[in-house]
Amino acid sequence: VVGPSTQVARHWGTPAALVFIDGGHGVQPARDDFSGWTPRVAPGGVLAIHDVFPDPADGGRPPYEDIYLPALASGRFTELSATGSLRVLRCAGTP
């Protein structure tokens, strides 16, 4: 599927076993990816987020502050692994 992330997410109907977010690094694109895609991760599925930098000296903050942290805070996701700037979370389902 080719198209803007927000448009594709709006029309995505099938629960996804894997969602890999390697999107825009601005605040709004990160928030749009979070709101558009995290609800589509199936229970037991994986959410992978690229360019997660907890230390501001290492890179941009939106993937960390507006996708990774809210996903963990939602209670739906737990961290499986962290490799470099890639974070992999497992979806537990609806909190």
Which residues form the catalytic set? 25
For 17-78, give the DSSP string: EEEEE----SHHHHHHHHHHHGGGEEEEEEEEESS--SSGGGS-SHHIIIIIHHHHHTTSEE
Query: Length of the chain in residues, anyone?
Result: 95
From the list 88, 79, 85, the residue with the least C-alpha distance to 52 is 85
Q: What is the DSSP letter of 81?
A: E
Residue 85 is which amino acid? S
